[in-house]
Structure 1
Amino acid sequence: MDKIRDLSSKRAVVIFTKSSCCMCHSIKALFYELGASPAIHELDQDSRGNEMALALRSLGCNPCVPAIFIGGHFVGSTKDVISLHVNGSLKQLLINAKAIWL
C-alpha cells in the first residue's frame, strides 16, 4: 500500500494498468485526449505488480486495473471515470489537480 500511495502522489494523474487490458488502453486514451499526461504504471511489467494489485483491490478497485488517481486521490476504475466524464466533472477534476489547463 505504501508503494501505491507513493506513486499516486507524484503526478497529477496516475493510472495503474496492465499492458494486455483493453479497458486500460481506453482509459489511457481518454486522458491523453483530454490533454493530460498521466503517469502510467503497468503492473504486469513491475516486479511488485502482484503486491500492488492486492493493494488496489483493498481500496475497492475490482478488477484491480485500471485504477485511476487524480490529485493523489483514488477516483476509481473504468466505470467511475467514464461516469465522471459523461457528467462533465472529470475535466474539472483534472483542472483542479493541475493536470490540464484551459
Structure 2
Amino acid sequence: MDKVMKIKSENGVVIFSKSSCCLSYAVQMLFQELRANAFIYEIDHSPDGKEVEKALMRLGSSGPIPAVFIGGKLVGSTNEVMSLHLSGSLIPLLKPTQANLSYKS
C-alpha cells in the first residue's frame, strides 16, 4: 500500500497497468494523444505486482488494472476515464497536473 501511495502522490497522472492488457494500452494511448505526461507503472514488470494490485483494490479500484490516478485521486479504470473524456471532463481534470496539456487533433 505504501508504494502505491508514494507513486500516486509524487506524480500528477499515474496509470497502473499491465503490459499485456489491451484496455491499459488504450488508456495509455488516450493520455499520449492528450499529451498528458502520465507515469506508467507496469504491474507485471514489478516483483511486488500482486501486492500493488491488492492495494489498488483496497483503494477502491473497480478492477485492478488499469487504475488511473490524477492529482493523487483515483479516477477509475477504462470506463470511467473514457466517460470523462467523452463528456469533456477529462482535460479539465488534467490541466492542474500538466504544464503543456493540449489535445492533438
Shorter-chain TM-score range: over 0.9
Q: Which runs of 5+ in 2 are unaligned?
A: none
Corresponding residue of 2:61: 61
CA contact (8 A) 2:36 2:101 kept: no
Matching residue's letter, 2:26: S
Q: Distance in 2 between matches of 1:40 and 1:4?
A: 12
Number of equivalences: 102
The ranges of structure 1 where at least 4 consecutive aligned residues each deviate by more than 3 angstroms after the TM superposition are 99-102
RMSD between aligned residues: 1.3
Deviation at 1:63, TM superposition (A): 2.0
Offset at residue 72 of structure 1 (A)? 1.1
Q: Do structure 1's residue 7 and structure 2's residue 7 form an aligned pair? A: yes
Tell me by how many angstroms 1:98 deviates.
2.6
Distance 1:99 1:11 in 2: 13
> 8 Å contact 1:36–1:99 — kept in the other structure?
no
Identical columns (%): 46
Please say if residues 8 and 69 of structure 1, whose CA atoms lie closer than 8 Å, have aligned partners that are also in contact. yes
The TM-score, its normalising length taken from structure 1, stands at: 0.93
Q: TM-score, normalised by structure 2?
A: 0.91
